[in-house]
Chain A
Amino acid sequence: NITELTGMFGQIQSPNYPEGYPSDLDVTWNITVPTGFRIKLYFMHFDVEPSYLCEYDYVKVSSDDDLLETFCGRESTDTEQIPGREFVLTNSNTMTVTFKTDFSNEERFTGFEAHYSAIDVDECVEKLDEALVCDHFCHNYIGGYYCSCRYSYILHSDNRTCKVECSDNVFTEKSGVISSPDYPNPYPKSSDCLYRIELEEGYAISLQFADIFDLEDHPDILCPYDYLKIKTGVMEFGPFCGDKSPGKIDTNSSTVQILFHSDDSSDNQGWKFTFTSIGAPCPVVHPPANGTIEPVQEKYSFKDQVQIRCNTGFKFVKGGDEVEAYQIECQKSGIWSSSIPTCKVIDCGTPRSLEDGFITFHTKDNLTMFGSHIEYSCLALYYQMEPELNTTYTCMENGFWVNDELGTDLPTCQPVCGRPARSLPPLNKR
C-alpha cells in the first residue's frame, strides 16, 4: 500500500485516524519534491503502540535509503522516541514514511497525523564545505542556486568554477613580464592560457622565473593537474609544476609559446617570469684608416647600427660617388649589412682654368688633394685680376677649391685698359 506524494506540501495520516488504526498494516508514503528542496516533516499528533525498540508498531522516516528516524509510543523513553515537537528534515528531495503495525494492540491507539512541506535548500551555505560549490560568488534562489565570477573571469562550462580568457596574448616587445592571472594570488581554475612572445627573427629570448613558483603537482605523476610548458619552434621546456622555480631558460628562439593549464581545483600562487631578448651578435667593427665609427661598443648585436665617418679631408667612394657618411647594420644572421669601406682622400681635381690667367700649384707634384693650395694669376701687363685680392685657393673637405673671400667663384682677368706697353713720347712744353 504505497502512496506517492509530489506536492510541495501535504498531509499524511494513519488509517482510520483519529480512530484506532487497524492491525497488520504496512503503509508507505513516498514524498518527492523538486530538486533544490528538502522535505520537512512534523507530526501534529502521534499515538502508536509502544514497544521495546519499536518492535511492534512504528513509523519509519527515511530518505535515499538512509533511515532518519523510527518513532513509536506515546512518549519518549530511553529506547524509543516519539516525534514530539521535533521535525524531520531530509537532505534530499525525497522522503519515505512507512507505518507498520503488528497483529494486536493491547489498547486502542489513535495513530498519527503529520504534515510535510518542501523547504528551500541554501546551497551557497550548505555546500560551502563540499568542494566549493561556487569558485567565486554563489547566489541562492528558491529551488536552486547559480555561480558568478569576479571581473575579468568567465564562468566555466561546469557553471561552478571561474576561468580566465587567456588564449591569445601576444607580446612583441623585446622585454617584459608575464605571469599567471592574479599572481601571486591563486590562479584561476579550469583555464588554458596561451602566451606568445613574437620578436623579429634574429633575437633570442630568455626567461627568468621568479622565486615564487607554485603550481599544483603530484608526488608520483609528472604535473597531472596544473602545468606550464614553454615551446619554441623546435624545442619544448617543461612541463613545470610544484614549488621549485625553473630559474632561467634560454630559448635561443625569437618566438616562444607559453602554455598554462589549470584544472578545476587547487589554490596555488602561480608563476611569473621576466623575458629579455638579445640580438644575434655581430663581429666587433673597427674604424677604417682615416675614419671613425660611432657608437663604439664592446659588443654589437642584431639591429645595432654603426655610423662610419671619414676624417676631415677624406670621403668614402661608393659606386663612383663620394659619400659623406656610411651606415651599416647588424643583421639577423650576425653579419654586418656591408663591409667597411675605405676612406679616400678628397681630390678636388684639376682646378678650373682662368681665361687669360694661369694657375700656380703650391704643393709638390701639382697635387690636387685635400689641403693643397693653388694660386690664380693673370697674364702680366695685359690683364689684371678682378677683384684684386688674395687668389689662393685651397682644396677643401667638400671637394671644391675654395678662396677665403670668393668661395668657389673664380676671379676674372680683365684686360688692362689705357696703359700701352709702349709709352707715347712725353709732352713737350712750348
Chain B
Amino acid sequence: IIGGRTAHPGFFPWQLLMVVEDMSRVPKDKWFGSGALLSRTWVLTAAHVLRSQRRDNTITLVPSEYVTIYLGLHDVRQKEAAVKRTVERIILHKAFDPRTYNNDIALVKMKDKVSMNIFVMPLCLPSQEMEGPQPNTLGLVAGWGITNPNLTMDDATGSDHATLSNILQYVKLPVTLQAECKSSYESRSDSYNVTDNMFCAGFYEGGKDTCLGDSGGAFIMYNPDTQTWVAQGLVSWGGPEKCGSKRVYGVYTKISKYARWLADKMSNSS
C-alpha cells in the first residue's frame, strides 16, 4: 500500500494473507497475496495470485496444498497467532486471461471452517443487480504489500523486509472515470486493455496506490443503506511504472460483474 495508513486490528476482519509456495520449481517459488473472507469456508481473491508464476501465457494452477491462508492476521510476523487454514479447492475463473488479466477472479475453499470473532469476519458481496462502483466514489484497500514504490517484489520477498509492511496498511482511493483510465493506459501502450470487467482507482497526481503484494485484496465500499462494507473490486494489476506514479491508476477486477458466477460456484460447491 503506497501512501496508506496503518490499520488497527479488527478494522479489516475479512482481510487474509495467502502464501503460495510452489515446491515444483527449483528453486521453489514463494509469493503472497491477499484475499477476502466471504463465508465460513470461502475466500475471494484474484486469479493471478493462484497461477503458477510462469512467464508465458499458460494458466497453470498452483496445487491447493501449496497454498496457506492466514486469517485474523495483523502483523505478518505473528502468523502463529493467526487462524491458519489449508485449501480444499481452488476455482479460477475459466475466462481468466493471463495476458490482459481480464476476469482476474478466483474462489478458494478452505478445508476447515473458521469461526467468526472480532478479527475474523466475512465481507459482503454486491448483489447481482448492483452496478459497479461509480466514478469518484471512495473505497478502501488494505494489504501487506510494498510500501516503497522504488522496490520490486523480489526485493520485497528478499531478506530486506524493511520495505514491506509487517502491519496491515490501508489506503483510501477514489474510483477513476473509466474513460480516463482507459485513455491513460492506451496512451502508453496498445497492449493494455482496460475492459468492462475492470475499474480503476487512484489519484491523478499519484501518491496513493496499491502495489506488489496487495494482489487479491478487496477494494471495499461502504453501503450506507445496509451499513455494511461491500467488496467492489480485487487488486489486479497496474502499469510498469512505480506504484503511486502520476496518472498510473491501479486496476481492479469489477466484482459486480461476477456476482452470479460467485453465487453459483459457492452454492454448487458447498
> Does B217 lie at the interface of the complex (its beta carbon under 8 Å from any beta carbon of A)?
no
CB pair B118 A422 closer than 8 Å: yes
A404-430 vs B, Cβ < 8 Å mask (1 yes, 0 no):
000000000011111111101001000
Binary flags per residue of B1-16, CB closer than 8 Å to A gives 1, else 0: 0000000111111100
Q: A420-B121, A422-B8, A427-B138 are in contact. Are A415 and B116 (CB under 8 A)?
A: yes
Knowing A356-B115, A427-B172, the reply to whether A417 touches B8 (Cβ < 8 A) is: no
A52 at the interface (CB under 8 A from B): no
* Per-residue A-contact encoding for B105-128, CB less than 8 Å = 1, 0 else: 000000000011110011111000
Known: A383-B116, A427-B172. Contact between A419 and B140, CB under 8 A? no
Q: How large is the interface on B (under 10, 10 to 19, 20 to 34, 35 or more residues)?
A: 20 to 34
8 A Cβ contacts from B148-201 to A: 172
Task: Please state if A417 and B124 are interface contacts (CB–CB under 8 Å).
Answer: yes
Cβ-defined contact, A415 with B122, below 8 A: yes
A382 within 8 A of B: yes
- A424 contacts B40, CB within 8 Å? no
B227 at the interface (CB under 8 A from A): yes
Q: Which residues of B contact A417 (CB under 8 A)?
A: 14, 38, 121-125, 228
For residue B229, CB closer than 8 A to chain A, the reply is: yes
Partner of B11, one of A381, A424, A427: A424
* Across-interface contacts of B124 in A (CB, < 8 A): 417-418
Contact A419 B228 (CB under 8 A): yes
B12 touches A420 (CB 8 A): yes
**Across chains A and B, which 8 residue pairs bring their CB atoms closest together, nearest first?**
A418-B228, A382-B116, A422-B10, A418-B124, A418-B229, A417-B124, A417-B122, A421-B118
Q: Which residues of A contact B11 (CB under 8 A)?
A: 420, 422, 424
Q: Check: B255 CB closer than 8 A to any chain A CB.
A: no
B262: Cβ under 8 A from any A Cβ = no
Q: What are 11 residue pairs bridging A and B, where the CB atoms are less than 8 Å apart in the complex? A: A356-B116, A382-B121, A416-B116, A417-B14, A417-B124, A418-B220, A418-B228, A419-B229, A422-B9, A424-B11, A427-B138
- Residues of the A chain whose Cβ atoms lie less than 8 Å from the Cβ of B138: 427
Q: A419-B228, A421-B118, A422-B10 are in contact. List 17 more A-B contacts (CB 8 A).
A: A356-B116, A382-B118, A382-B121, A414-B39, A415-B39, A415-B40, A415-B116, A417-B123, A417-B125, A418-B123, A418-B229, A418-B230, A420-B13, A420-B229, A421-B121, A427-B138, A427-B172
- Contacts of B8 on A, CB cut-off 8 Å? 422
Contact B115 A416 (CB under 8 A): no
Expressed in whole angstroms, the minimum distance between the Cβ of B130 and any Cβ of chain A is 13
Chain A: CB-nearest residue to B117: A382
Bound state CA distance, A416 and B13, in angstroms?
A: 11
Q: A419–B121 contact, CB under 8 A?
A: yes
Question: Which single residue of chain A is at the shortest CB-CB distance from B13?
Answer: A420
A379–B117 Cα gap in the complex (Å)?
10
How many whole Å from B38's CB to the nearest CB in chain A? 8
Question: What is the CA–CA distance of A390 and B220 in the complex, to the nearest angstrom?
Answer: 33
Q: Mark A14-35, 1 if CB is under 8 A from B, else 0.
A: 0000000000000000000000
Q: How far is the CA of A356 from the CA of B230 in the complex (A)?
A: 23
Is there an interface contact between B10 and A420, defined as CB atoms closer than 8 Å? yes
For A421, give the chain B residue with the smallest CB separation: B118
* Chain A facing B: main interface SS: loop
CB closest residue in chain A, given B218: A418
- Residues in A with CB closer than 8 Å to B125 are 417
- A80 → B minimal CB distance (Å): 144
User: Quick one: CB contact mask for B25-40 with A, threshold 8 Å, 1 for yes?
Assistant: 0000000000000111
Q: Mark B209-243, 1 if CB is under 8 A from A, else 0.
A: 00000000000100100111110000000000000
User: Nearest Cβ in chain B — how far from A356, in angstroms?
Assistant: 7
How far apart are B225's CB and chain A's nearest CB, in angstroms? 12
Docked CA distance A417–B117 (Å): 12
Residues of the B chain whose Cβ atoms lie less than 8 Å from the Cβ of A415: 39-40, 116, 121-122
Closest-CB distance, A28 to chain B (whole angstroms): 135
Q: Which residues of B contact A422 (CB under 8 A)?
A: 8-11, 118
Residue of A nearest to B138 (CB): A427
Instruction: Please name all residues of chain A whose beta carbon is closer than 8 Å to the beta carbon of B122 when the two chains form the complex.
Output: 415-418
Report Cα–Cα, A418/B124, bound state, in Å: 5
Q: Which residue of A lies closest to B228 (CB)?
A: A418
Could you say which of B38, B223, B229 has the most chain A C-beta atoms within 10 Å of its C-beta? B229
Bound together, the chains give a CA A77 to CA B60 distance in angstroms of: 163
Residues of B within 8 A of A383 (CB): 116
CB distance from B231 to the nearest CB of A (A): 8
Q: Please name all residues of chain B whose beta carbon is closer than 8 Å to the beta carbon of A381 when the two chains form the complex.
A: 118
Q: How far is the CA of A417 from the CA of B39 in the complex (A)?
A: 8
Residue of A nearest to B226 (CB): A418
Q: B116: nearest residue on chain A (CB-CB)? A: A382
Report how far A419 CA is from B12 CA in the complex, Å: 9
- A54 CB to nearest B CB, Å: 143
Give A21 Cβ to nearest chain B Cβ, in Å.
146
- Complex: A296 Cα to B118 Cα, angstroms: 66
Residues of A within 8 A of B230 (CB): 418
Task: For the complex, give the distance between the alpha carbons of A418 and B38 in Å.
Answer: 9
Find chain B residues with CB under 8 A from A356 CB. Answer: 115-116
Give min CB distance, A276 to chain B, whole Å: 73
Q: Per-residue CB proximity of A373-384 to B under 8 Å, as 1/0?
A: 000000101110
Q: Which chain B residues lie closer than 8 Å to A424 at the CB level?
A: 11, 140
Within 8 A of B (CB), among A218-256: none
Give A381 to B119 CA distance when docked, in angstroms: 12
The interface residues of chain A lying within 8 Å CB-to-CB of B116 are 356, 379, 382-383, 415-416
Instruction: Please give, as numbers and ranges, the residues of chain A lying within 8 Å of B115 by CB-CB distance.
Output: 356
Chain B: minimal CB distance from A420 (Å) = 5
- B11-59 interface with A by 8 A CB criterion: 11-14, 38-40
Chain B min CB distance to A360 (Å): 20
B227 (CB) vs chain A CBs: closest residue: A419
Closest beta carbon of chain B to A355's beta carbon, Å: 8
Please name all residues of chain A whose beta carbon is closer than 8 Å to the beta carbon of B140 when the two chains form the complex.
424
